[in-house]
Amino acid sequence: MRNLLIINWRFGVEETTELLKQRFDKLFFTGSPHAGKIVYKAAAEHLTPVTLELGGKSPVIVTVSSDLKLAARLIVWGKFLNARQTCLAPDYVYVEESVEEKFLAEIKDQLTSNAYTYDAESYTRIINAKHFDRLEELIDKEKLFFGGKSDRSRLYMEPTIMRNSTWEDKVMEEEIFGSILPIMTYRKFDQVIEEIKAREKPLSAYLFTTKKDEEQRFLHAVSFGGGCINDSIMHFTNPNLPFGGVGNSGIGNYHGQYGLEAFLHKKSILKKATWGEPNLKYPPYTKSKKRWIKRIM
């Protein structure tokens, strides 16, 4: 790809907007679906191909058959890695109603580790004050199960768990991209599958189960960019797996060989000898020629 533009809005909105007016052979953008639509619209002016790695509300399903302690450990790690400021982190959890209390206890046990406290060097701060304030507005104090403390002067936001969340809550309107984890419950597995399918297609999705039928139902019924069974985020680390979204969460993919192909155009070339040109392909197309052409084709 001779003329490539890789975009991230943090470089400056005005500068990026001006760049998008120029002609490129390829546009690669990572960011929100809203900004992705702006990039896509600009690319259409020159019919420029794009790779859009966006995001969305990546769901987690925790079933009654799962190892709840392991599930809690992996979800907490994946969710609060970089204070959830990663595009493929778990955004919310659906847990089977009968094991909700046990699951929440395991989550709390994981979060009481020193790794998530105010002074922990390994726990990331929120990127800036603007996003810190946005996250503060998403916390419903009446639904707090754990956390909720914050310090704006240090951009620290404690890992925060909200239970009894619903799709009507403000925190469920768009991707959170911060240290808040809403928990919802379900009774029937097919119910939660339909709930997820009714929303925009996420960049990632995660299922914790030991049942093959639930695994297959999840994989075949739900459309998402990529994900894990009994893990979180780790599919991103495998260079042999393509990474990218689908629908509202992105266009195209990359990583490893897929990354090379994302930035290349495969040019088709046929080279032939200058002798032996068949008369069969030239008019007039007699009945005899047509018979031979049909046999060949």
Catalytic residues: 53, 87
Looking only at Cα atoms, what is the longest distance across the chain? 87
Q: Find the length of the chain.
A: 297
* 20 and 55 Cβ atoms separated by less than 8 Å: no
Structure token digits, residue 16: 């990026």
Q: Where are the beta strands (DSSP E) in 81-203?
A: 92-96, 144-146, 150-151, 156-157, 160-162, 180-186
Structure token digits, residue 153: 């002067």
* 91 and 202 Cβ atoms separated by less than 8 Å: yes
Spatial separation of the C-alpha atoms in residues 40 and 37, rounded to whole Å: 5
- For 258, which DSSP code? H
